[in-house]
Structure 1
Amino acid sequence: MLIRVWEDPWIPTILARPAKSILNLRDSLLYVNDLIDQNTNLWKLDRLQALIDPVDIPLILGIRPSRTYLSDDFSWSHTKSGNYTVKSGYWATRDLSCDPPFQGPGVSALQAQV
């Protein structure tokens, strides 16, 4: 499975998301493994700096490329193993901060204005 840089959710934030670009035009066929040097197994920092929003670069550098040279794959960032568990999903949703729904004026306040 090849992970697309601009479409697939691979940036490890609370809710994984695609990378943000600093360019207006993006190559839709750019894959995460295109950003890794296959000889050194390190991120191509020059490519990251040329393409990716500076906010995302430290997040990307925090991802260790696989040493086995397997194809790209998704993992769950809320467990050490990268595998999803119901328990980790429960804790991940508890950590989300939900904004309370918008509550406008009540009906009685509107009736008082009529």
Structure 2
Amino acid sequence: MDAKLKGSPSFIWRSLWSSLGLLKEGLVQTPINTLDIETKVGALIDEDSNSWKIDLVETIFKEEEAKLICSIPISRSGASDRRIWASLERGNFSIKSAYFLETKLSNRSSGEPSTGGGNNSMWKDLWQLEVPAKAKLLIWKCLSNIRPTKDSLLRENIVESNLCPVCAREKETKVHVLWVCPAVADVWGGETSLFRKWKRFYPDFQQLWGEMTGKLNQESIELVVVLFYHIWARRNAYTFQTQFKNRATIVALAQADLSLLKEINLNSSNRAARSRGRGPSQSW
């Protein structure tokens, strides 16, 4: 739990390390050992009465901490101390509960969750876009503030710098990666681009997304979403593999994704129409 991210760690280790903050938030410790290195929690418990040594606890800990400690029920079976996952009553960790905890923590600062509240229409519009699921998921993570960046990782003491790994000039935020970074200027600033005259700076990704959905038609938004996905994928490829795709490749990949998905959806619709046209099968 106290490991440091040093040197040039592998992608797998970086991924595991990025979840430590979430684990620390969800885990709780049965009475914490703050005494001598060899002292156990049992030193704070009266074995005869099977209760806390209140005077000792109040001497060692602050008043509020002492009250919390003494409110912890003591096991009658003599079970050993262990860490438990506080998000579930049974204390066992699960991926599902970690997901809900991460979403809850993110929504402390980002507003309503995607399952309710005033943003229902925004989430509904997002999920109905005809783009690959991987692209919609990226937008959802960015809007929910759960897409890690160098800036957010620095605040969690996971990395030592929040500078963008591509331009190395400004702190890496979501809106920087997808819109502000000089490396994406050619994607959005081309002569035929809809965004050539748009302002460059937005305080956060949520405001940029809100302006886009307010001004663009669905077809343009779908192209933007897939471009966002490939811009972020290019950022990852450069960060971990020092590979960098040019503007033409990014645009071509986005257009290919959209064309393939439309073809798949069209074929599915045609098969469904033919199936309805044949009607129910007859039995003899």
Q: Does residue 92 of structure 1 match 2:101?
A: yes
- TM-score after normalising by structure 1: 0.57
Q: 1:71 aligns with which of 72, 75, 80?
A: 80
Kindly indicate which of the two structures has a greater share of residues assigned to helix.
2
Two-structure CA RMSD over aligned residues (Å): 3.5
Q: Percent identity?
A: 28
**CA separation of 1:56 and 1:20: change in aligned 2, threshold 3 A:** farther
| Residue 41 of structure 1 pairs with residue 50 of structure 2 | yes
Separation in structure 1 between the aligned mates of residue 51 and residue 104 of structure 2, nearest angstrom: 31
Query: RCO higher in 1 or 2 (8 Å CA, sep ≥ 6)?
Result: 1
Q: Which has the larger radius of gyration?
A: 2
In 2: Cα distance, 1:77 partner to 1:95 partner: 14
Q: 2: distance between equivalents of 1:20 and 1:91?
A: 30
1:93: how far off?
2.2
Corresponding residue to 2:67 among 58, 63, 70: 58
Task: Note if contact 1:36-1:43 (Cα within 8 Å) is conserved in structure 2.
Answer: yes
Query: Can you give the 5+ residue segments of structure 1 that lack an aligned partner in the other structure?
Result: 1-12, 107-114
**Among residues 29, 36, 44, which one is paired with 2:38 in the alignment?**
29
**What amino acid sits opposite 2:38 in the alignment?**
L
Q: CA deviation at 1:67?
A: 0.7
Runs of 4+ in 1 over 3 A off after TM superposition: 13-21, 100-104
Task: Please state if 1:80 is matched with 2:80.
Answer: no
* Change over 3 Å in CA distance of 1:15–1:85 after alignment to 2: closer
Distance 2:62 2:38 in 1: 18
Report the TM-score when normalising by structure 2: 0.26
Q: Which consecutive unaligned segments of at least 5 residues does structure 2 have?
A: 1-24, 110-144, 146-151, 156-169, 172-179, 181-284
